[in-house]
Amino acid sequence: MSGDEIAVALAAILLGSAIKSISGMGLPLVSIPIISFVTDLETAVAAVAIPNLLINVAMAWRSRESRAEARDLPVLGATGIVGGIVGTYALVSFSEEPLVVALIAVVAIYVITFVRMPDFRISPAASRRAAPGVGLATGLLQGAIGISGPLIGSWIHCYRLERRAHIFSLTTLFALAGAAQLVALLIAGELSGRWTVAVLGCLPALATVPFGEHLRNRFSSEGFDRFVVATIAVTVTALAIRTFA
C-alpha cells in the first residue's frame, strides 16, 4: 500500500473505532467500505482484522467487572462457532444476497420495534430458549458473508443490560469471532505484504477506547440505547450498500 492508502486506512479505522468504542460495534462495517475505495476488499479486511480483535479484547477487559450480568454468552459463543463452520462451507454453495436481505429484514424489524416500543426487552427465560438459534444464525452469517454484527448487536441490545454488561457481552463475542477470523487469514496468507497497515491500525483503534468509554458514561440510559440502535441501523445500511451498490 502507498502512503496515501495507508493514511486513508488509518483514518477509516479511527472513525470506525470511535463509533465502536461507544456502542460496542461498528468498526469493520464502517472501516472496510471506506478502505475499499482506495484498495481491494481483501486488503481492507486484512487491515482491519488485528485492530478489530485488539479493540474487542481491550473493551471486554475494561468492562469485565460486569461479566456476572451478561447472559447466554457460552451458548451464543459455542453455537456461533458451529454456525460459522456451516456458513463457511455454505459460502461456496449459496449467493450472499438472500442472506443479506434476511439480515436487513430482521434488523429493520428490531429497529422499528424499538422506535415504537422503547422499553421492549426479552426475558431471561425467553433468551435462554432462543440463544442457540441466534448463535447458529450469527455464526452462519459470519461464515457465509463475513458480517454478523447487526444481528448479534440487535439481540444483545434487546436484553437491555446495564451498559457495561452490554459492552462486555458484545465485545467478548466479537473477540471470539475475530480470533477465528485472524487464524483463517494467517493460514490463507492474507496478511502477507499487509502487516504494516494492520499493525499501525492498532494505534488509532486502541487510542479510542478510553475516549469512547468517557463519552459512553456521559450518556443517559435512553441516550445510550438510541446511540446503539442508530449504530445498528447505520451498519446494516453500510452492509446493504456494500452488497447491492
Report which DSSP code applies to 71. -
List the domain boundaries for the chain. Answer: 3-244
Kindly give the parts of the chain with pLDDT less than 70.
Answer: 88-94, 96, 144-146
Q: pLDDT at position 88, please?
A: 67
The three state secondary structure string of the chain is CCHHHHHHHHHHHHHHHHHHHHHCCCHHHHHHHHHHCCCCHHHHHHHHHHHHHHHHHHHHHHCHHHHHHCCCHHHHHHHHHHHHHHHHHHCCCCCHHHHHHHHHHHHHHHHHHHHHCCCCCCCHHHHHHHHHHHHHHHHHHHHHHCCCHHHHHHHHHCCCCCHHHHHHHHHHHHHHHHHHHHHHHHHHCCCCCCHHHHHHCHHHHHHHHHHHHHHHHHCCHHHHHHHHHHHHHHHHHHHHHHHHC
Question: Rounded to an integer, what distance in angstroms lies between the CA atom of residue 18 and that of residue 55?
Answer: 10
Question: Rounded to an integer, what distance in angstroms lies between the CA atom of residue 100 and that of residue 96?
Answer: 6
Q: pLDDT at position 90, please?
A: 65
pLDDT in tens, 78-91: 998 888 777 766 65
Closest CA to 85 of 135, 45, 44: 135
Q: What is the pTM of this model?
A: 0.85
Question: Rounded to an integer, what distance in angstroms lies between the CA atom of residue 194 and that of residue 192?
Answer: 5
Note whether 6 and 214 are within 8 A (CB). no
Q: pLDDT at position 51, please?
A: 95
Q: Hey, how many other C-beta atoms are within 10 angstroms of the C-beta on 139? A: 27
DSSP SS3 for 185: helix
